[in-house]
Structure formats: structure tokens, C-alpha cells
Amino acid sequence: GAVVSQHPSRVICKSGTSVKIECRSLDFQATTMFWYRQFPKQSLMLMATSNEGSKATYEQGVEKDKFLINHASLTLSTLTVTSAHPEDSSFYICSARDQTGGTGELFFGEGSRLTVL
Amino acid sequence: AQSVSQHNHHVILSEAASLELGCNYSYGGTVNLFWYVQYPGQHLQLLLKYFSGDPLVKGIKGFEAEFIKSKFSFNLRKPSVQWSDTAEYFCAVGQNRDDKIIFGKGTRLHILP
């Protein structure tokens, strides 16, 4: 199946710094990618829809100025957590839709674990 | 707003037992329904999906799910589980083929050898 890769898989940063997480679709093009956040023992919470060449669409309650999303190409979306705080520590997962095959199936990255000290 | 409810948070079964995991959604329009699985240490994978047609959907690894529109349900079943089915299972719903997908809280399945 299609592959979605996230980098880094783990990152530790100090409070107040910014962290960038990359999401790449390796063997297909994705005009739409999704960013999720998963707390321990909880479900995936959709944060935003990343649209290639246009602004991301954020879910209610998600601060767009804190979680900056850029989808500059058909294979890359980035999530930047700005001025990170300990409460931002979480597991961030991206997914990309393979639209070329017609099934619209979502493929998920391995996730990125962010720890803010 | 859409929502997805999974009734069982943690299920423990012995090998060869039958499995049914409940999933209900709230949305009045046309929906696409999914079951995803996350094995320990791995990323999410699609088990099966329903877009239209036969409401009984067969997926990988012997899993199946039945869409019952009148009950807003999409329960996952497997007649005989294996130890390797130990994982977390997520039900998800989308409004159309290209729309965002909303996930349920997940069911952690533990199979005893």
C-alpha cells in the first residue's frame, strides 16, 4: 500500500520553542492531508485539514496561530507547534488521501511524539 | 456534528472466541464508514471500509462489518480470533469520499493465548 512518512518520530524540546513535524506521501500525491492528535489511551482528534496550495482548515477549538500548517507541495505537509508548552506534549499523526487510485483511502504516518519540558 | 461511539473500551477474549465490537455514529446523511487497526508499536492500518452497496463488508484478516442504516451502526466481527489480533481498533466515519474522517475512542482488544 501507499506510504506516508513522518519526521521526526520523537522530539523533545524546551518550553517556548517551536517544533516542526513533516508529513510526506512517498509514492503518491496528496492534495489533502489531515493532522490528528492522540492523547494516551484516547482516540485520534482531528486538528486540521491541510490543503495543497491554500490555507488549512482548522477544527473548532484548535488554535491556528499555535499549530501552523503548510502544505507547499503535493507530497509534503508540515505542522509547526509554535511556542510549545508542556500541555502540547502529545502524539501527532498525519494522514494523506490517495486520490489517484479512486478509492480515496487514507494512509497514516507512524506518528511523532512531542515532549515539551 | 458527526460523532462516533464505540461501546467497548477494553475487550479480553481467548483464542478462537468470536468477536463483535460495537460502533454507532450520529449523522443523518450519507456516510462512509471505516474500521482501522493499530497493532502495538505500529501505525494505523485500514481493516475495511463501506462506501455503498452490499452492507456486509469483508476486510483483511478475516474481519467483516455490517452497516445497518436504521441502527446507525457498523459493528466489526470476526468468527474466531487469534492472538495476533491483539491491537486497538478504531471505528471512523466520513461524510463523503474526500471528506475528513472522525474517529471513535477506540477499543483495546487483548487476546489470551
Per-residue pLDDT reduced to its tens digit, A60-95: 999 999 999 999 889 999 999 999 999 999 999 999
Cα distances from A76 to residues A47, A49, B11, B56, in angstroms, run: 17, 13, 38, 36
Per-residue pLDDT reduced to its tens digit, A29-64: 888 899 999 887 778 899 999 988 889 999 999 999
C-alpha cell at B91: 471505528
Residues from chain A that touch B8, judged by Cβ atoms under 8 A, are none
* C-alpha torsion sign, points A74, A75, A78, A79: positive
**What percent of chain B has pLDDT above 90?**
73
Quick one: pLDDT at residue B43? 82
Does residue B7 sit at the A interface (CB-CB below 8 Å)?
A: no
Per-residue pLDDT reduced to its tens digit, B7-59: 889 999 999 999 999 999 998 788 889 999 999 888 888 999 998 899 999 99
Give the span between the Cα atoms of B94 and A39, in whole angstroms. Answer: 21
Quick one: pLDDT at residue A36? 95
Quick one: pLDDT at residue B24? 96
Per-residue pLDDT at B97 exceeds 70: no
Task: Report which DSSP code applies to B83.
Answer: G
Does residue A5 sit at the B interface (CB-CB below 8 Å)?
A: no
C-alpha cell at A26: 512517498
Weakest mean pLDDT among B38-42, B70-74, B78-82: B38-42
Does residue A63 sit at the B interface (CB-CB below 8 Å)?
A: no
